[in-house]
Structure 1
Amino acid sequence: MTNNTKQVDLLEDPVANTLKRMTIPMIYGMVLLMTFNLVDTFFVSLLGTQPLAAISFTFPVTFTVISLTIGLGIGTSAVIAKYLGRKDHESAKDAATAALYLAAIVVAAISFVGYLVTDELFMLLGAQASVLPLIHQYMDIWYVGSVCLIGPMIGNAILRASGDTKTPSIIMGSAGLINAILDPIFIFGVGPIPAMGIQGAAIATLVSWIFGLVFVFYVLTTKLNLIHTSFIPSKQLLSACRNILKIGLPAAGANMLTPIAAAIMTAIVAGYGESAVAAFGVGSRIESIACLVLLALSMTLPPFISQNFGAGQLSRVEQAYKSTIKFVLAWQILIYIILAVSAPWIASIFAKEQAVAELITLFIWILPLGYGLQGVIILTNSSFNALHKPMVALVLSVIRLFVCYIPLAFIGSYFYGLTGLFIGALVGILVMAMISYRLFIKQFSNDNCLLQEHT
């Protein structure tokens, strides 16, 4: 492989230091990306409660497609990192190329179907007819550009599998900056550019995705030689796709359960009015900022685990898992304290109406208590995927969302309204975190059996 000073040695460098060196660049990139996404929500909120509610309705749908590409990226990263751990660069290159072809086809197909059933889909989520024109303005553009997701999602997964997390952070941060700059220009208009409202937000997102796609292709082909620039033989292509899908399909299924659950939650919240939906949408975006360190770790831990798994160094895998769990629990407690103190101020930024502000504050005071526990769940699932046990991760996701999270949230909502919904969801996260950790420790205690099975 082409030598690259950005990479770390995932097989030899000290575990804690390696994870730190991989994660910090990801945090920088994600801080920029998530901050700019909040800027996106802020500018839309200036258009009023109805546009804010419209973009909140789009979140479960857009996140479904994004989760699909993330799942394929998980399969891609796990397969490539394991090949690299075994020093098999050619197989890794085949897998990387196949992953890009596969993701482009799948995302285009899903988005086309979504485009055809936009009205029916969003009415099912609880959207009123008056909001549908606004949803169309955003989603019609979003669907067309969604295939560009293969750049920031699949391309970055390939880079992370090789140990390079600095380049993905640059790509994410740059794309986010472009989106933030273009948002006010396209939404409100500047000079000859007309005001396009919520449609302008979608166009800004599309332009940032195209930039990310071009950037990542340049790095993968010119700098790292990690993908083929010509078509690979069909036999190699199909073999690589099968290996990716063995992990990618269950991982994608598990990831897509999250927006399905979010859609159900949005439908429940919609029963409390547009103000509640708007507040829930803002809270979901605040969550992405509050959990950015956790999300960065969920991207850097799997390639570390997969490479060491491929090399048969399972003691390093166990050490990495336990150390990240301890760190995330402590870190998210600190984040909760900061959020709880600043909740009224945060709510005043994103809400023009007092009712929305009060509900945003309520969200922040309750749900972020569970973000550390949510970290246990997410890191455990990503670790199982990295160990090439995607079905275990899928089963855990089903239990998490449809046995713990939604049922307990619904019960809380039934008896105590919106406050009960938030508290019920929090209890569901607590129960699932305990289940996830105990299962991983139990599975990993049989590491000798795992080593014999996969070597």
Structure 2
Amino acid sequence: MAKHIDLVNGPVLPSLSRLALPIMATSLIQMAYNLTDMLWIGRLGSSAVASVGAAGMYMWLSNGLATLPKMGGQVNTGHSLGAGRTEDSASFAAAALWMTTALGLLFGICSILFADPLIVFFNLNSPQVIQDAKIYLQITCGCVLFSFLNQTFTGIFTAAGNSRNSLTATLTGLIINMVLDPVLIFGAGPFPAMGVMGAAIATIFAQFIVTTVFVIFAFRDTVVFCHVRLFRNPGKKYFLPILRIGFPTCVQNMLFTGISMMIARMVAGYGDAAVAVQKVGSQIESISWMTADGFAAAVNSFLAQNHGAGKPDRIRKGYRSAMGVVLIWGVLCTVLLIFFPEPIFRLFITEQDVIPMGVDYLVILGVSQLFMSVEITTAGAFAGLGKTLPPSLSSTILTAARIPLAWVLVQTPLGLNGIWWSITISSIFKGIVLFLWFRSFLDRELGKFTSPAGYSS
């Protein structure tokens, strides 16, 4: 199988599937990566999970910032490759890597210097939980540059029609993390038991190895990276388009995380166990949203290249094919979470007083999995056409509605479950609204698409 897939010629579904399957596998590996952490940390008890959950919110926030160079670089690289402008694609890749490095270093320094007030925000109860959260934050977010670079490398390789490199790099990281987690958390041989700190060190070392693998692949690449002049300033001609496309998605993701942090603070009012339930539950739920996010990346690159090549029919067929796959996956995830919540949750936390809370979380969030998958994939389709503002507006407005909705619902007999229902209800509306918006956009915009220059991006 060729590493680089021709996305602008040949049958649509086979091309899209060949690109998407390695990305979806990469997402599943990333999910396994996160779940491995939770499996071992869960053995330390719900307090340790609460520590990682609180600090992990800032890792999530950093991922929102990382989408700026990743999304902007991926879309512009894809457009340039589709239009046959190889040198431009390389310059966009270089600019994305420059921006990634600057943002990663800035976020890392801030996380180390301001760890105390960042953790105090969550109003955690146990001093040990607070201390572990600070340690986890300073290590994982302090060295977040590797995570940032990995995301940007993934975006650029995907834009070039090569999703297999990301799969290989992520699988390497998973294997290393699976080996190091129990060793560093519980101790073995010359390694002392380090608990939460050990989990953080294992995560960062694995991410460093993934970055190293990506660099090796970049040196071997013959499509984009072979033309990259990394030590030459690409210039604002390339930085500005990345900012224009990446900024709305970045703001959307960071606001989404900020709102989620406000929700987490409400959850903390029900005790550290509730924080642990939210952390573990969201990791389990990632089986749907991370896979959908991976498929959205494939749709993004497929539509971006066909946009650059001026092929509206392939854009329509690509989105239609993507929706067919995502609908099936969303239904499967819904069934899994609604009908098998207890055995799944028990894999991570076995404390009897916590399990009922976890079951409630999974069942309630299970209702929205199909709609969430549709929203994520459609956002990728919008971004592939250079239109990142519609999904950003839809997500920001409807996600913000979770806060007042949660406040109202917790006043009812639902209590803590009211917070989970606020998340599910907003996710359902986000999926419906964005799907209808994109269909309207396709009917209106692609009708006047006659050439690459005739479509405004």
Shared fold (TM-score greater than 0.5)? yes
Q: Is residue 289 of structure 1 aligned with residue 291 of structure 2?
A: no
Give the equivalent residue in structure 2 for 1:435.
433
Conserved? CA contact 1:151–1:212, under 8 Å: no
Give the equivalent residue in structure 2 for 1:345.
343
SS at match of 1:194: coil
Q: Report how far residue 143 of structure 1 moved.
A: 2.7
Conserved? CA contact 2:174–2:206, under 8 Å: yes
For 2:273 and 2:230, the matched residues in 1 are separated by 51
Q: Report how far residue 203 of structure 1 moved.
A: 0.7
Give the equivalent residue in structure 1 for 2:9.
12
1:191 to 189, 192, 217: 189
Give the equivalent residue in structure 1 for 2:396.
398
Q: Given the superposition, is the C-alpha separation of residues 129 and 272 from structure 1 closer, same or farther in structure 2, using an over 3 Å criterion?
A: closer
Map 1:30-429 to 2 at 5 A. 30-128=27-125, 130=127, 131-224=129-222, 226-227=224-225, 230-231=229-230, 233-234=232-233, 236-403=234-401, 405-415=402-412, 416-429=414-427
Conserved? CA contact 2:143–2:204, under 8 Å: yes
Conserved? CA contact 2:20–2:298, under 8 Å: yes
- The number of equivalent residue pairs is 450
Q: Which amino acid aligns with 2:456?
A: H
1:122-143 per-residue CA deviation (whole Å, 9 max, x = no partner) reads 2212323612210122111113
1:104-159 per-residue CA deviation (whole Å, 9 max, x = no partner) reads 10121122223222221222123236122101221111133211123320011110
For 2:409 and 2:22, the matched residues in 1 are separated by 39
For 1:314 and 1:371, the matched residues in 2 are separated by 30
1:149-193 per-residue CA deviation (whole Å, 9 max, x = no partner) reads 233200111100000111111111111221111101111111111
Q: Given the superposition, is the C-alpha separation of residues 258 and 450 from structure 1 closer, same or farther in structure 2, using an over 3 Å criterion?
A: farther
Conserved? CA contact 1:15–1:319, under 8 Å: yes
For 2:18 and 2:257, the matched residues in 1 are separated by 31
Q: Given the superposition, is the C-alpha separation of residues 117 and 128 from structure 1 closer, same or farther in structure 2, using an over 3 Å criterion?
A: farther
Give the unaligned 5+ runs of structure 2: none
Q: Which amino acid aligns with 2:301?
A: P
Q: Report how far residue 383 of structure 1 moved.
A: 1.7
Give the unaligned 5+ runs of structure 1: none
**Matched-pair identity in %:** 25
Instruction: Say which is worse superposed, 22-31 or 181-190, in terms of deviation.
Output: 22-31
Instruction: Say which is worse superposed, 260-269 or 154-163, in terms of deviation.
Output: 260-269
1:191-250 per-residue CA deviation (whole Å, 9 max, x = no partner) reads 11111110111111111111111111111122336235654543x333211121111111
Q: Given the superposition, is the C-alpha separation of residues 13 and 213 from structure 1 closer, same or farther in structure 2, using an over 3 Å criterion?
A: same
For 1:377 and 1:358, the matched residues in 2 are separated by 29
Conserved? CA contact 2:35–2:283, under 8 Å: yes
For 2:256 and 2:168, the matched residues in 1 are separated by 27
For 1:408 and 1:86, the matched residues in 2 are separated by 46
Conserved? CA contact 1:340–1:365, under 8 Å: yes
For 1:392 and 1:444, the matched residues in 2 are separated by 13
Q: Which amino acid aligns with 1:380?
A: T
Compute the TM-score of the two structures, normalised by the length of structure 2. Answer: 0.94
Q: Which amino acid aligns with 1:16?
A: L
Conserved? CA contact 1:366–1:426, under 8 Å: yes
Q: Is residue 25 of structure 1 aligned with residue 39 of structure 2?
A: no
1:365-418 per-residue CA deviation (whole Å, 9 max, x = no partner) reads 110211110112112222222111122222122122113x44333322232212
For 1:334 and 1:143, the matched residues in 2 are separated by 33
For 1:201 and 1:136, the matched residues in 2 are separated by 13
For 1:229 and 1:380, the matched residues in 2 are separated by 31
For 1:167 and 1:194, the matched residues in 2 are separated by 34
SS at match of 2:347: helix
Q: Report how far residue 450 of structure 1 moved.
A: 5.6
1:392-449 per-residue CA deviation (whole Å, 9 max, x = no partner) reads 222122122113x443333222322122222232222222222111111112212244
For 1:376 and 1:36, the matched residues in 2 are separated by 24
Conserved? CA contact 1:126–1:267, under 8 Å: yes
For 1:340 and 1:438, the matched residues in 2 are separated by 26
For 1:414 and 1:111, the matched residues in 2 are separated by 39
Compute the TM-score of the two structures, normalised by the length of structure 1. Answer: 0.94
For 1:180 and 1:171, the matched residues in 2 are separated by 15
RMSD: 1.9
Conserved? CA contact 1:72–1:244, under 8 Å: yes
